[in-house]
A and B are shown apart, each in its own frame.
Chain A
Amino acid sequence: MSILIDKNTRLIVQGITGRDGAFHTEQMLKYGTRVVAGVTPGKGGETVHGVPVFDSVAEAMEATRANTSVIYVPAPFAADAIHEAADAGVSLIVCITEGVPVRDTLAAYHKVLALRGASNPLGRPRLVGPNCPGLITPGQSKVGILPGQIVKPGPVGVVSKSGTLTYEVVKQLSDRGLGQTTCLGVGGDPVIGTHFIDALTMFEADGKTEGIVLMGEIGGSDEEEAAQFIKRHLSKPVVAFVAGQTAPPGKRMGHAGAIISGGTGTAAEKIAAFEAAGVPVARIPSEIPELMAEQLERRRSRSRANSKNGSRNGNREMKRARGAAPGRTRRKKTSASRRGGKPARGTRR
């Protein structure tokens, strides 16, 4: 299993005729993603790598019944592309584009939120990004720009704010024999649609994910909140890493969101928050696979012990696992079916 995307993902590429859009469409097709349509206003009727192009997302949706879209539209128009996808009823919107003004992202985010309903944090539609590498479910589907050759199927969920650092660590995980359920890049902008907490909740609910690697960086407080959330709600082991320990305050480190401002958002604070929550923190990226392997081994031997010791302990363990954030997952299911009877996607299919 996986989170957010799988072999049933039917993808629209917004900005498919552009340089990046066309290139990554080819890459995604090669990987086996079902790219069913592309959208570029004014280029309806063309094809790109055999994929039919439409003038609007609404037309593409009508013709292809897609459920996911990925955005490679240039930054000045990317937020509009999010609005368009949301209005057309796309349920998962992945914005790869870097350089979207925060003001535009705010409006697009709140549009998506309004369509979903505030009481339904894990429902649809959902925005991932902007300024993110997208996501990949090994062997099933890739949406975005993550290189397909470094991943392999397995028990580890990966969530990260970065692109190439994620590739680095995912490759090391794969080399160590630790495959992945889904690798998700949430993006490096100050305002993003999907946060660590959302990803953690989904990985917790995913039957195949046994452990989670979380890679954060300086700026904001997502990592601190994730640490609190893990402590309260997660039964599965998490290994964390925080980039930017040597970053000076007040300077933006490439990502628009990666900045220590007013003395907060430092790597030291984030690492301390994870440690206080009992989450092992890798000091360097190459420690991550070993830490994850240890955690998985501990979890497996615990569940072996439980099954040997009879049903009492085992039941308790299962209850704990199932009980994590129960309200959220249950609500997701009901409201998804209320909204036009669409089946809940991903893990629940």
Chain B
Amino acid sequence: MNLHEYQAKELFARFGLPVTPGQVAATPEEARDVAASIGGTVVIKAQVQVGGRGKAGGVRLAHTPEDAFEKARDILALTIKGFPVRKVLVAQAAEIQKEYYLSIVIDRQRKLPLIILSSEGGVDIEEVARTHPDRILRQPIGMEGLRVYQARALMKHVFPNWPQVQQAADVLMKLYRVFTEGDCSLAEINPLAVTPEGKVLALDAKVSLDDNADFRHREWETWRDSGDETAAARLAREKGLSYVKLDGDIGCVVNGAGLAMATMDLIKYYGGEPANFLDIGGSSNPEKVTAALKIITTDSGRDASGRSRIRAILFNIFGGITRCDDVANGIVKSLRESPLEIPLVIRLTGTNEEKAREILKEFGLSATTKMDEAVQMVVARAQEVTV
């Protein structure tokens, strides 16, 4: 799960990181009230999880509460890179003398947390990596943890004077606690800013949480439920399905992540466009199948003439732990409840394949055994429908 900036700053504040005072607002009125309580100049920032908010007009200064009302109103009306702005963060504005970059990620090769530090902050770090790779420091943190002397030594490479080095080292120590105790896969401050008075501040915050650790973080649930999740995404999460929406018109339901990716690739290879990634996982209760069909048929919506954007659906099941008959039962149950208006192609092989075929046959459906054949078939059916 990726946090919004305001959520990440809440997390940062809990660990004592220097963030500017601020609060999230969902309406211009709320923004005005927050601005009044903070006093002075505030910055109003669109809470959408995409880069380039500033360029899109999603970050603006306001000098009075009334000004905050108007700016917030404008920003809340924006859609940035396809994401409608539902909330804004209203925070005390800070003057910036210099911007740095600081983050902690998992180094998959070394299998250790990795500090990434740069004197080039406030810009896209991947861009810095391309243009000035020499201006990025990478320092793994050993399993015994991070010591403050190590943090100071690292910060001394980039900060110009001792007071700033000490503040930045303190920021790093706290960010490391956020990262480990908070079960983050990314904790990023960009920019880590220095004010004209020499104060070091975390002016932006980006955090990705390791979803696998949610069992020990009850508080994550409140962050998740913030209205950003589509109905389909929520249903997928609740039913334990991995689902990613794409732009194509061929829906696919697959068991296993690798096979699901390979199925999408194969659809493309044979001239079609996959509408989604969907992994129903290892154990196949019929309910998951029903949910999968519902997600695919509803999430893409309809075109101007009222037709489903999805032109055909493919089931690709390789039975191992997943039992083909469970999947067949799920398909039949689901079609009984709500018949499909688009072609359905089924491929299944493996555990209880014969039983599955019988179940499908009784309902007037058939299934192929070969993956290539099934994909070619579904691509052809989708094209027929289109024409």
- In the bound complex, what is the Cα–Cα distance between A245 and B265 (angstroms)? 6
B275 → chain A, closest Cβ, in Å?
A: 11
A188 touches B257 (CB 8 A): yes
- In the bound complex, what is the Cα–Cα distance between A147 and B269 (angstroms)? 28
B116 → chain A, closest Cβ, in Å?
A: 10
Assess whether B354 is interfacial by the CB under 8 Å rule: no
- In the bound complex, what is the Cα–Cα distance between A153 and B372 (angstroms)? 25
What residues on B are CB-neighbors of A168 within 8 Å? 259, 262, 318, 371
Query: Beyond A190-B106, A245-B268, is A262–B126 a contact (Cβ under 8 Å)?
Result: yes
B269 touches A284 (CB 8 A): yes
What residues on B are CB-neighbors of A164 within 8 Å? 254-256, 258-259, 318, 320, 322
Partner of A220, one of B108, B254, B350: B108
- In the bound complex, what is the Cα–Cα distance between A165 and B263 (angstroms)? 9
Assess whether A100 is interfacial by the CB under 8 Å rule: yes
A147 touches B264 (CB 8 A): no
Assess whether A215 is interfacial by the CB under 8 Å rule: yes
A247 touches B264 (CB 8 A): yes
B111 touches A191 (CB 8 A): yes
Assess whether B112 is interfacial by the CB under 8 Å rule: yes
Q: Mark B170-186, 1 if CB is under 8 A from A, else 0.
A: 00000000001001010
A243 touches B212 (CB 8 A): no
Report the nearest A residue to B181, measured CB to CB. Answer: A103
A247 touches B212 (CB 8 A): no
- In the bound complex, what is the Cα–Cα distance between A88 and B257 (angstroms)? 33
How many residues of chain A have a CB within 8 Å of chain B?
60
What residues on A are CB-neighbors of B212 within 8 Å? 75, 99-102, 256
B108 touches A145 (CB 8 A): no
Query: Beyond A167-B318, A190-B106, A221-B109, is A254–B277 a contact (Cβ under 8 Å)?
Result: yes
B371 touches A102 (CB 8 A): no
Assess whether A301 is interfacial by the CB under 8 Å rule: no
- In the bound complex, what is the Cα–Cα distance between A291 and B249 (angstroms)? 32
Assess whether A278 is interfacial by the CB under 8 Å rule: no
B210 touches A263 (CB 8 A): no
A261 → chain B, closest Cβ, in Å?
A: 8
Assess whether A218 is interfacial by the CB under 8 Å rule: yes
What residues on A are CB-neighbors of B111 within 8 Å? 106, 109-110, 191
B338 → chain A, closest Cβ, in Å?
A: 26
B188 → chain A, closest Cβ, in Å?
A: 11
Partner of A255, one of B143, B258, B266, B322: B258
* Among A36-44, A155-163, A226-234, A333-341, the stretch in contact with B: A155-163
Interface centre among A101, A225, A245 (most CB of B within 10 A): A101
Assess whether B244 is interfacial by the CB under 8 Å rule: yes
What residues on A are CB-neighbors of B274 within 8 Å? 246
Partner of A263, one of B126, B246, B259, B266: B126
What residues on B are CB-neighbors of A163 within 8 Å? 256-259, 282, 320
Assess whether B149 is interfacial by the CB under 8 Å rule: no
What residues on B are CB-neighbors of A76 within 8 Å? 215-216
What residues on B are CB-neighbors of A146 within 8 Å? 320
Assess whether A53 is interfacial by the CB under 8 Å rule: no
- In the bound complex, what is the Cα–Cα distance between A171 and B246 (angstroms)? 29
- In the bound complex, what is the Cα–Cα distance between A100 and B210 (angstroms)? 10
B117 → chain A, closest Cβ, in Å?
A: 16
Report the nearest A residue to B180, measured CB to CB. Answer: A103
Report the nearest B residue to A75, measured CB to CB. Answer: B212
Residues of B259-285 whose CB lies within 8 A of A = 259-262, 264-269, 274, 277, 279, 282
What residues on A are CB-neighbors of B277 within 8 Å? 247, 251, 253-254
Assess whether A217 is interfacial by the CB under 8 Å rule: yes
What residues on A are CB-neighbors of B261 within 8 Å? 165, 217-218, 243-244, 246-247, 253-254, 258
Assess whether A280 is interfacial by the CB under 8 Å rule: no
What residues on B are CB-neighbors of A102 within 8 Å? 106, 183, 185, 210, 212-213
- In the bound complex, what is the Cα–Cα distance between A252 and B211 (angstroms)? 11
What residues on B are CB-neighbors of A262 within 8 Å? 125-126, 129
What residues on A are CB-neighbors of B265 within 8 Å? 243-246, 267, 284
- In the bound complex, what is the Cα–Cα distance between A263 and B51 (angstroms)? 14
What residues on B are CB-neighbors of A162 within 8 Å? 256-259
Chain A residues proximal to chain B, CB less than 8 Å: 23, 75-76, 99-104, 106-107, 109-110, 133, 145-147, 150, 160-168, 171, 188, 190-191, 215, 217-218, 220-222, 225, 241, 243-248, 251-258, 262-263, 267, 283-286
**10 smallest beta-carbon distances between A and B, as pairs:** A162-B258, A254-B257, A164-B256, A165-B258, A101-B213, A254-B242, A243-B261, A164-B259, A254-B279, A244-B261
Name 10 A/B residue pairs within 8 A (Cβ), A-sorted: A103-B180, A103-B183, A150-B350, A163-B257, A164-B255, A168-B259, A246-B267, A252-B244, A253-B257, A285-B262
Other A-B contacts than A23-B321, A248-B244, 7 sampled, CB-CB below 8 A, are A145-B320, A165-B261, A168-B259, A258-B261, A262-B126, A263-B126, A286-B371
